[in-house]
A and B are shown apart, each in its own frame.
Chain A
């Protein structure tokens, strides 16, 4: 197993730059998520680590060795494709055995390993079937089997659950995580699904337009998004943005939103002008006495909770409240924002301003 270090990784396709200088470290044994919307460069990054694309510049170190210009076959990394890419002219057994055959492993050894892997993945009864007739979940297991059979340094997974039905996706997500916990193999997993990333990942890199927006644990990224993009992309519903013109002085513990002072974690980085106050829906509570006023536009019932959609002078706000709370469209109410959980962004750069809450999260 291996530690993977990415340094200033860049990839250009002609005039288009897919990845603009990414840097992050994937620790040994980590389940690492590359998250972002389509076209953000996450798959290109994965393919560069796997060796299917050569970077324009930058370094990829696997266990301290720079492999960035080596072909895929010399990197000892397994890749699970979104569309599985099982060899259609081979049966399940041959598919799983194929990586071992390239290494010249003796036949008896191949048989033993294939049987072992098939047992782990519970596909031992279908080894002699052609891959064409398998269900999505079984194909996914065969693809996983082909990846784990040779015990590679690391696993790359390119949206491996993307092609599955939603019910299978849940099951496979659990299986994948269980498999990882059992093997403790370094895994890099590409997804555009923020829930999947939060649910499965030890660490997440959020990418957008070829740039790493944020790199951290799911909790840090959720609680302390480094940019408006991350705040908007992570969480469902997304973080609320209250846009205002104002002033955040260093050491201040309030900002003035129109006429109302709002308490927030102590500001460590001064800013003035167009600012954005970010608050997650679950950190908005409704109170008739709160000074920030809003009008209820709609209510979405979700079982134990409900999403109350309000209009305020600073834009629409969604609040997640107990569904027991009476809320009717048309009602006027006040909004309380949970001070320790607020984020402040510079509207022009889109970057989060450093406060007492997120200071430990940002490294640079």
Chain B
């Protein structure tokens, strides 16, 4: 071998590192790729053995996901007028006719409202609380912070029954507000602790400079601290959203009609007219998108160290 350098990795080690990353990426993405590819298969393709890697793509799964259908007698099918639009045509190809929209759209919208609503509320409360804990003399500060953390120490499902009973009494069962409050309650501890860490890192001098420059404490918070905390807020928001978006147990327990989110709904698709794996896969694929888009949008905040160089340490 040639010269050995402490700072510059050798070519071979770069190759090994690269291969490891690629292998890990493939292992991680494979199930996702499988779900996405299944969502574009026909029913028979989705359960064929050996599994089909190459197939003729179709949006059948998506049509089935968004509609309810009946299967009329073949003779009756022939007497119908020609199909109206793409959805109808695809349904007709499977020997079915569309009778109406499914509830997926509604459930998906519930997930969006509850997921983003609870994320926004967690971040709003969490940022204010974290700022106060970071900057002010709060009586019993350490005890309060520990109390906030301790809410995470119990498995949430342990309190499922009490919450179920309380929610029924309060009329919060199966409501958007109820689910937003619940997910906020779970996420707030994470938000306070994460954000406090980020705000602790922002030098007080920035706010003090703003106070000296004639701004009120709140203006200083809004115009100086918040932009500095953007990175922390973005990453905290992603964590909160991922939890609220994916949460299953409480959603099953507490929602059934109005406020049901997508996670408990997707498995029920399978029961509608046989084992419709492409429709389930289509639901899962669409369900992945918002969190993915949200993460991609906030990615630059996650990576950018915006306070770099402004204060000499």
Contacts and interface: CB of A to CB of B under 8 A. Distances in A.
Interface of A: 50-52, 71-73, 77-79, 81, 83-89, 98-99, 102-103, 131-133, 136, 139, 146, 150, 163
B211 A52 contact: yes
Interface-central residue, A71, A84, A87, by most chain B CB under 10 Å: A87
A77 B224 CA distance: 19
B20 interface: no
Nearest to B313: A83
Contact of B312 (A79, A98, A136): A136
Nearest to B213: A99
25 contacts: A51-B211, A51-B212, A52-B208, A73-B214, A79-B209, A79-B212, A81-B205, A81-B208, A81-B209, A83-B205, A84-B311, A86-B311, A87-B209, A87-B310, A88-B307, A89-B228, A98-B210, A99-B213, A102-B214, A131-B310, A132-B308, A132-B309, A132-B310, A146-B213, A150-B213
Given A52-B208, A79-B208, A85 B213 contact: no
Interface residues of B, number: 25
Interface in B297-313: 306-313
Contacts of A102: 213-215, 219
B312 A163 contact: yes
A150 B208 CA distance: 17
Contacts of A77: 212
Contact of A83 (B211, B214, B215, B311): B311
A88 B202 CA distance: 11
Contact of A87 (B211, B212, B224): B224
B208 A85 contact: yes
A93 B206 CA distance: 16
A163 B227 CA distance: 25
Interface in B254-313: 306-313
A163 B203 CA distance: 15
B216 interface: yes
A179 B308 CA distance: 30
A88 B310 CA distance: 5
Nearest to B311: A83
Contact of A50 (B206, B212, B215): B212
